[in-house]
Homo-oligomer: A and B are copies of this chain.
């Protein structure tokens, strides 16, 4: 559904959000461990998210990544769009560039319905809202 890059991005964002609510910044090593992702790879992804304004960062000792109010309100859909583009939300299920209402592919209508479902679910899910469950260990971010 999502690229691996995007999966890591979402997991990292949720983790950083939790730490940010607790008022602290997190370093890449801690993030990599917490979400069980390759350290250098997650570093690249966060660099990208940082440039795009989804996450804040500070260099040097006591530095690290954090989110302030605005990014906490961003939705999973925003992150997916930033990383994977909007192909998932607007693209044709069969990969046809010219698929449209006027010139639909065979699965166009039925596919559009689930595509919209996916979009709505991801749009409704805000990064900031996952912290409570994580905190109580009702949900998890690790691979294994």
Protomer copies: 2
The docked-state distance in angstroms from the alpha carbon of A108 to that of B125 is 12
- Across the A-B interface, the 4 shortest Cβ-Cβ residue pairs: A7-B95, A106-B130, A106-B139, A114-B117
List residues of chain B with CB within 8 A of the CB of A134: 106
> Is A59 an interface residue, CB under 8 A from the partner?
no
If A7-B94, A93-B2, A121-B113 touch, does A106 touch B142 (CB 8 Å cutoff)?
Answer: no
Chain A residues in contact with chain B, CB under 8 A? Answer: 1-2, 4, 7-8, 10-11, 14, 76, 88, 91, 93-99, 103-108, 110-111, 113-114, 117-118, 121, 124-125, 130, 133-134, 138-144
List residues of chain B with CB within 8 A of the CB of A140: 96, 98-99, 103-105
List residues of chain B with CB within 8 A of the CB of A11: 94
Cβ-defined contact, A97 with B14, below 8 A: no
Q: 30 A–B contact pairs at CB < 8 A?
A: A1-B1, A1-B93, A2-B93, A2-B94, A2-B95, A7-B94, A8-B95, A76-B107, A94-B141, A96-B140, A96-B141, A97-B143, A98-B140, A98-B142, A98-B143, A98-B144, A99-B140, A105-B139, A106-B133, A106-B139, A106-B141, A107-B125, A108-B139, A110-B121, A110-B124, A113-B117, A113-B121, A114-B117, A114-B121, A117-B117
